[in-house]
Chain A
Amino acid sequence: MASTNSESLKSSLLEQIRNVVDFNGDKESALTQLHFPVKKQEEWKYSIPNFLADSYQLSSLQEVPVSSIPSGLPSDACKLVFVNGVFSSELSDKSLPSGLEVSFCPLNNSIKPFEENLFGKLNEASAEKQGIHLHVHKNASIEKSILLVHIIPSTGLSSWIQPSISIHLEANSSASFGEIWEGLPADHFVANAVNEIRLESGANLHWLHIQDGTSDGIIINQTRVACAANSLFRHIVLSTGSGFVRNNLDIHIEGSGAHADMFGLSLGNGSFHCDHHSFLHHAVPNTTSNQLYKGIYSGKSTGVFNGKILVDQIAQKTNAYQSGRNILLSPDAKVYAKPQLEIFADDVKCSHGATIGQLDEEPLFYLRSRGLDLATARLLLVRAFASEILMQINSDSLRAYAEEKAIRQLDEMTKS
């Protein structure tokens, strides 16, 4: 897309945001300095920069029937519903688990300010008005999973939505969240989402992010996490469909004894484009992390994995593992993997690796020699491949929910 168009898109979005929130002059001028990404930027190299339409409708809360909430969500969970990125108290569960508080609040942007990042800045601008803050009290241990359910009603227009959610777990609390994007409209849309997550010492957070059945939409998700001493953070993302997904997950490990797990499962068909950028910052001694991103791609789908691990000079005794494993089911599917280690400490254990291949012939032949047809054998093998990620989901009901999504997608992908 020509830069003039992207400039006019930017001003149109700013104009629309200005109708909702007051801008002060500083913010305005900071924004005018920024631009939508272009292909020559390393960070966007593989993620086609010309995916944006010429104009969007900045969408906000609107009335939708209760039936817009996807059926089949785990019934034992607490639901917080967002329509067009804005919290809907009407559709959300009225009683919250004890220890959890929900309030309107702008992002405080304390984890890592968005700098050269127009998507982040745009989100921040409207967050002044529609940001939501979830607070988990000290020592609270929330049994129920908390689902953040995102609904984008189909309007026939190209919607641009900007959910901004901050989560704060006080010391020694624990919670399990599910960020659910499913039943997305067939219309073109942009979801420009930001999550800001802070774990105090000893906190334990399990975060399942489901981006299911993306079609013509674009999801840009930026999640930034800060982990204090002895906290435990697990992030699992399941991305399926044929749309465009760009996830930036930045984790800053700032207290010793903390551990972060990052798992991803991307199942693409059609023209699916799924880009995971992970950034893991070990900033203090004695911390650990583990990353495993798996992808199965068919049709003309593309996977991108860019995983960076930064170990500061003082961060001795860091253990950091990263691995990416990908299966291409069709000759037109592609994967770009770029692991990066930047290690400034000397007493650390770090490893990374990435594999890209086809489904192995040996197991396929073995299963066929037992009477399974090719499609069934393939399905069995891709399910087994996927299950390594799905079994990392702690909650039984959330795991079953995610498995159902994954299996349906895999069925679709392996039909020959």
Chain B
Amino acid sequence: MLKINNLHARIGEKEILKGINLEVKAGEVHAIMGPNGSGKSTLASVLAGREDYEVSAGSVEFLGKDLLELSPENRAREGLFLAFQYPVEIPGVTTINFLKTAVNEIRKYRGEAAMDAVSFLKMMREKSQLVEIDQALLSRSLNEGFSGGEKKRNEVFQMAMLEPKLAILDETDSGLDIDALRIVASGVNKLKSPQNATIVVTHYQRLLDYIVPDFVHVLWNGRIVKSGTKELALELEEKGYDWIKAEAIS
């Protein structure tokens, strides 16, 4: 589904991603872990198409297409979804407001008929129950005055509505208490299918108690320096990152 090959990205003069290789297949859950500042959000942003970053080398193939050639909106329409680490506040734009447009633009791209208002509302009700988000939030200005947990839940809600093929969750767990974490994780698990895949970016292993990964990768200093199975996450929890850094340097 996703093939990242030797991906380099920079912002200004500063190189942040220094050769990422990663392959994700349908049905898989990958966790990307790593200390703060190692480049996890940069990777997520580059995949979603943020224009601040310049890709200086490498390639990314998504469902057979050259992902880097696509505009951010066409990546979304192809089935890529990013749950933002820091979801932006947009005064005057409600979640319902833009999501209805988003759902229909994606359907149009795929050659499907637009969804009528009734079906849209029905779907919204179902999905908001799934992630246990208060419907009232959805008709308020996006993220304005939302608590940290509400912002993250809203991201997962949007993911549920847009039914992506590949979802990237960028630290969706940070700032969540244990109940919220459980709800968000169960939302993600319910949306899991053999046809789609998930990349979970986190630097705590506790999320992985709820979303069980098939693979765990450690990103450090712009490179994936270690990959393994879920046992690697436990090892990291126990020993921290220093041994990996040491291993990577030697």
Residue numbers of A with Cβ under 8 A of B are 361-363, 365-374, 376-377, 380-381, 383-385, 387-388
Q: Beyond A363-B93, A365-B49: 16 further Cβ-contacts under 8 Å?
A: A363-B88, A365-B50, A365-B72, A368-B72, A369-B48, A369-B72, A369-B81, A370-B99, A372-B73, A372-B98, A372-B102, A372-B105, A373-B105, A380-B97, A380-B98, A384-B93
B residues less than 8 Å from A385 (CB atoms): 92
Residue numbers of B with Cβ under 8 A of A are 48-52, 71-73, 75-77, 81-82, 84, 87-88, 90-93, 97-99, 101-103, 105-106, 109, 158, 162
Contact assessment for B106 and A371 in the assembled complex, using a CB-CB cutoff below 8 Å: yes
**Cβ distance B27 to chain A, nearest Cβ, rounded Å:** 24
CB atoms of A369 and B91 under 8 A apart: no
* CB <8 Å contact, B90 and A373: no
Tell me which residues across on chain B come within 8 A of A387, comparing CB atoms: 92
5 pairs of A and B residues whose beta carbons are closest in the complex: A384-B92, A371-B76, A368-B72, A370-B102, A371-B102
On whether the beta carbons of B98 and A370 are closer than 8 Å, the reply is yes
Alpha-carbon distance A366/B72, docked complex (angstroms): 9
How far does the alpha carbon of A373 sit from the alpha carbon of B52 in the complex, in Å?
18
In this complex, the member of B52, B81, B90, B99 whose beta carbon has the largest number of chain A beta carbons within 10 angstroms is B90
**In the assembly, what is the distance between CA of A361 and CA of B75, in Å?**
18
Interface of B is mostly: helix
Smallest beta-carbon distance B124→chain A, Å: 14
Q: Give Cα A32 to B48, complex, Å.
A: 67
Give the residues in chain A near B158, CB-CB below 8 Å: 370
Assuming the contacts A366-B87, A380-B97, asked whether A374 and B73 have C-beta atoms less than 8 A apart, the reply is yes
Q: How far is the CA of A309 from the CA of B150 in the complex (A)?
A: 41
C-alpha spacing A82/B2, complex, angstroms: 67
> Which one of A362, A368, A374 contacts B76 once the chains associate, using CB atoms below 8 Å?
A368
**Shortest distance in angstroms between A400's beta carbon and chain B's nearest beta carbon?**
17
Q: In whole angstroms, how far apart are the Cα atoms of A380 and B96 in the complex?
A: 12
Residues of chain B within 8 A (CB-CB) of A371 are 73, 76-77, 102-103, 105-106, 109, 162
A381 CB contact (under 8 Å) in B81, B90, B99, B109: B90
Nearest opposing residue in chain A for B51, CB measure: A365
Q: How far apart sit A387 and B103, CA to CA, in the bound complex (Å)?
A: 23
- The distance in angstroms between the C-alpha atoms of A382 and B106, with both chains bound, is 22
A366, A371, A380, most chain B CB atoms within 10 A: A371
B88: contacting residue among A362, A380, A388, CB under 8 A: A362
Q: Chain B residues near A365 (CB, 8 Å)?
A: 49-51, 72
For residue B76, which residues in chain A have a CB less than 8 angstroms away from its CB?
368-371
Q: Is the CB of A372 within 8 A of B51?
A: no
> Among A373, A380, A383, A384, which residue has its beta carbon within 8 angstroms of that of B73?
A373
Across-interface contacts of B77 in A (CB, < 8 A): 371
Residues of chain A contacted by B50 (CB below 8 angstroms): 365
CB of A355, distance to nearest CB on chain B (Å):
14
Contacts of B105 in A (CB 8 A): 371-373, 376
Q: Which residues of B contact A370 (CB under 8 A)?
A: 76, 98-99, 102, 158, 162
26 A-B pairs within 8 Å (CB atoms) are namely: A363-B90, A365-B51, A366-B84, A367-B102, A368-B71, A368-B76, A369-B72, A369-B73, A370-B98, A371-B73, A371-B102, A371-B105, A371-B106, A371-B109, A371-B162, A372-B98, A372-B102, A372-B105, A373-B73, A374-B73, A380-B93, A380-B98, A381-B90, A381-B93, A383-B92, A384-B90
